[in-house]
Structure 1
């Protein structure tokens, strides 16, 4: 079972990098990617015809300009096809430059990544909420009428 595992777009976290997508084989067998393709939310044939294979538990990173010709935008859909069959897809919202990672690899839900982890296991650490310092200041005291 090959799935989309990580999407990196628009210099997400690492300035100067191209859009990239990471595939992961969560199955038990090697998968031949001949006839597979990658698309964004538009249908433009031939932009990302895949080749080679991906072994069980392995990652395959595809990079804009080398492996596909389209770019991912702020708010887009990544779609993975085996022939005409849609195998996996993920739609993300319009945000600042971010990356999206499946946690855990291959089976989990997508979450906003805290760091790029292309070709390695996704970092599923959740950044803690910052502590908010609160100060209580007694501003006025009204003791009522004199006793």
Structure 2
């Protein structure tokens, strides 16, 4: 079992961990050291046990906040999935009906007659070649 030396709040500790978990231990120690440094900056020097307890509590508080946010996000995600499933289960909307006005036959006939007269007049006016 590997022994890893970590530093928290300016104090060194030797800790054992499982093989392959050294990187995780260093990462966790760095987070705890950040909180301990923050405490030392605010309060000053304090006993080792108190510093570790306070730094651990601060990390636990952050973790609890993140877990609450994660739970809220998971709930919102599930609500969105349920909404999508509901919408997908709905029948397709009826096609929109668009009415196009129809030109009455009498108007069409009148226009055709006017066009025929115009062509006849054009034939009379223009010389045939």
TM-score where L is the length of structure 1:
0.19
TM-score where L is the length of structure 2:
0.21
Structure that is richer in helix per residue: 2
